[in-house]
Structure 1
Amino acid sequence: MTLAALWTYQKERFPLAKTAPLLAIFSAASVCVSAQLSARPLPGWGAFVAGFIIAMMLFFQMRVCDEYKDLEDDKQFRPDRPIPRGLVSLGLIIWLGVGTLPITALAAWLWHPPVLWLLALVWLWLAAMTTEFGVPQWLKARPVLYLLSHMAIMPLIDLLLTGLEWMRGGGAASGLWMFLALSFVNGCVLEIGRKLWAPVNEIAGVDSYSKLWGPVKAALVWWVLVALSCGLLAGVGAATGVFWVSVILGGAGACLCGASAWAYAKAPTPKAETRMDTVAGLWVFACYAIAGFAPFIARGA
């Protein structure tokens, strides 16, 4: 096994160039929003470092769990993926995932040991997800419920990340639920957005939302979720004093997302498929950037 093989694996299955910036914004925004909602000063830099490490480790652990539970399907339907084609072994990836567990726990403990309780909650849900909650066939036969149950980990992760601020700062703000709901909806936006495929790219035996609902309905569902996300962003903005900034910036972004969804629905080509995946990521990135940092920029102005 060479480092080159691991480098190829990360490019295909956990692309750091795309993942690290998104998680840096996600984790930092979570800490900032928690402080803003509670009208508290920002915590020390250690909270932001801990948040980024925890986010990176958790999302890699989620990838490892996916590799484990999807291996048989990948062997049958997606043999070109790194593990089925023999680039790396499942055992190696699992050991790498196990190796991130103490790093995650240490990052939480060094900042504020009680945060470990929230980390344990995330790990418990991740374990349940990996076993498909004990009913894999029943759950897979219900794609919407499957999506909702798996995306529930997003607000749990955000509860953990915001907890780096509020557990040490004196308690969570009453408006925190809006930010957690935003994370849940944005998780759905990302997940559906990456599975809106061109008909020529559909894979037999592999579920996609474009196959489940058809390109037109799937694009509509995706954009409705973007609109809901935009509404929650405005709610967070109202609670942190930047309602109109959130409405204007979020509304502009939602319109661009709508244009992409419309183009995909009219012509679900491979190019449109790639655009939807990219736009979904950019929308989520923009949401957290606006929610987390717009209040500071507005006050500075």
Structure 2
Amino acid sequence: MIPAALWTYQKERFPLVRTVPLLAVFSAASISVSAEMAGRPLPGWGAFAAGFAVAMLLFFQMRVCDEYKDLEDDKRYRPDRPIPRGLISLRAVLSLGLASLPLTAFAAWAWHPPLIWLLGGVWLWLAAMTAEFGAPEWLKARPVLYLLSHMAIMPLIDLLLTAMEWLPAGGPAFWLWLFLALSFVNGCVLEIGRKLWAPQSEIAGVESYSGLWGPKKGALIWAACVALSWGLLVGVGAATGVVWVAVLLGGAGALWCIRAAAAYAAAPTIAAQKRLDMAAGLWVFACYALAGFAPLIVRMF
């Protein structure tokens, strides 16, 4: 019963079919970009294995913290979720999260022990996020600040992942900050994109960006985030010697996303909502794929 419940839980709350490819590209691209910007050869396979393991475990821990933090709201407004409906207990999910902590530390330590300090920084921010920085009501009354404070964990995770390459090699490249900024903005693209809903999808008591801003303004803000993300991708491409790839392929992807935003703004249906959510995920996937692997592919030809 428990394995079946866990399988259902992951499909609903941590879908591996989407999460594994995205985090594999995210972690590998982070390590590759760090090396490319510094003009260093790629590290050994151990760095990529450790990076993927750390990324997967950290994102699972973020999901566990959300389950704990949002439990009362879920019971009240989203009783169909796995924990409120009794599929699996919060205790079981928390136990899995706690069990993942030493695994994460071991994965980082096994590749390069000083990485533990950066991992500790990510955990501290995650703990502060879970506690809503000690001011939950004040923060929830300011949705934009809430978004920015929570998305700040993305560049922290990326700093850790890029450090798989630069920490053993002696230091980060100067332009690495562009890639960290890209991670921050892409976090906003994902988060806003998954909470721009059709009117019939809105849930009383549950905050969404379509409810906060309205579909048209929400779509405009999301499209602006995509455009900013593209600009940062071009900057990363310039730093790694493939600016034309970022301009052309990244620009084509950004235009496709903006078209999806315009379609949602014009008619915020459930189908348009799903296309926008899909566009957010594909855009972030494409961003990291282009940033991390385009320099390697270009050199091959």
Fold conserved between structures, TM > 0.5: yes
CA–CA separation in structure 1 for the residues paired with 2:68 and 2:277: 24
CA deviation profile, 1:192-244 (whole Å, cap 9, x unmatched): 00000000010000000000000000000000000000000000000000001
Aligned to 2:98: 98
The letter of the residue matching 2:54 is I
Residue 239 of structure 2 is aligned to residue 232 of structure 1: no
Aligned to 1:27: 27
The letter of the residue matching 2:256 is L
CA–CA separation in structure 2 for the residues paired with 1:77 and 1:45: 45
- What is the CA distance between 1:90 and its match in structure 2? 0.2
Query: When the two structures are superposed, what TM-score results if normalisation uses the length of structure 2?
Result: 1.00
Aligned residues: 301
What is the correspondence of 1:68-217 to structure 2 with a 5 Å cutoff? 68-217=68-217
Residue 10 of structure 2 is aligned to residue 10 of structure 1: yes
Structure 1 gaps of 5+ residues are: none
CA–CA separation in structure 1 for the residues paired with 2:150 and 2:2: 33
CA–CA separation in structure 2 for the residues paired with 1:98 and 1:141: 30
Query: When the two structures are superposed, what TM-score results if normalisation uses the length of structure 1?
Result: 1.00
- What is the CA distance between 1:187 and its match in structure 2? 0.1
CA–CA separation in structure 1 for the residues paired with 2:182 and 2:97: 27
Aligned to 1:47: 47
CA deviation profile, 1:127-185 (whole Å, cap 9, x unmatched): 00000000000000000000000000000000000000000011000000000000000
The letter of the residue matching 1:194 is R
CA–CA separation in structure 1 for the residues paired with 2:2 and 2:13: 17
The ranges of structure 1 where at least 4 consecutive aligned residues each deviate by more than 2 angstroms after the TM superposition are none
SS of corresponding position for 2:100: helix
CA–CA separation in structure 1 for the residues paired with 2:10 and 2:292: 28
- What is the CA distance between 1:2 and its match in structure 2? 2.0
CA–CA separation in structure 2 for the residues paired with 1:162 and 1:207: 33
SS of corresponding position for 1:80: coil
Aligned to 2:63: 63
CA–CA separation in structure 1 for the residues paired with 2:261 and 2:42: 37
Paired-residue identity, %: 73
Aligned to 1:264: 264
SS of corresponding position for 1:88: coil
C-alpha RMSD over aligned residues: 0.4
Aligned to 1:277: 277
SS of corresponding position for 2:299: helix
The letter of the residue matching 2:86 is G
